[in-house]
């Protein structure tokens, strides 16, 4: 089965959540702890790394329901249902960011 459309949608949700999330400022202190001092001279780098951390956290947390479903069903590899669960989980986590995304406008 071709999972590429699901992966693209999941990554799009995670990217929107990373850039437009209202909790981006809560991730900023972790950037100071995780990056060397020479990276945090510019504020744009701080928010870029914060966005990457938040996007990665969205991908991981959104995949938990799909992983639990696959474990519960005893599947060896991903199915279409597990991809839908991953996409739905990532989409639900991205709802506050999507509201900000559409308020700001394209």
Q: pTM of the prediction?
A: 0.86
Which of 3-7, 74-78, 102-106 shows the lowest mean pLDDT across its residues?
A: 102-106
pLDDT given at position 36: 77
10-65 confidence digits (pLDDT tens):
999 999 999 999 999 899 888 888 877 766 777 888 888 899 999 999 999 999 99
With a cut of 90, say whether residue 103 has pLDDT above it: no
Confidence of residue 77 (pLDDT cuts 50, 70, 90): confident
Give the span between the Cα atoms of 19 and 35, in whole angstroms: 19
């Amino acid at each position: 089965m071709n999972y590429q459309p699901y992966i693209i949608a999941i990554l799009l949700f995670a990217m929107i959540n990373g850039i437009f999330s209202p909790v981006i400022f809560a991730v900023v202190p972790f950037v100071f702890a995780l990056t060397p001092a020479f990276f945090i001279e510019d504020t744009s780098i701080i928010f870029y790394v914060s966005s990457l951390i938040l996007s990665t956290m969205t991908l991981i947390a959104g995949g938990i329901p799909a992983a639990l479903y696959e474990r519960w069903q005893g599947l060896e590899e991903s199915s279409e249902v597990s991809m839908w669960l991953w996409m739905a989980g990532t989409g639900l986590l991205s709802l506050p960011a999507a509201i900000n995304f559409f308020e700001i406008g394209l």
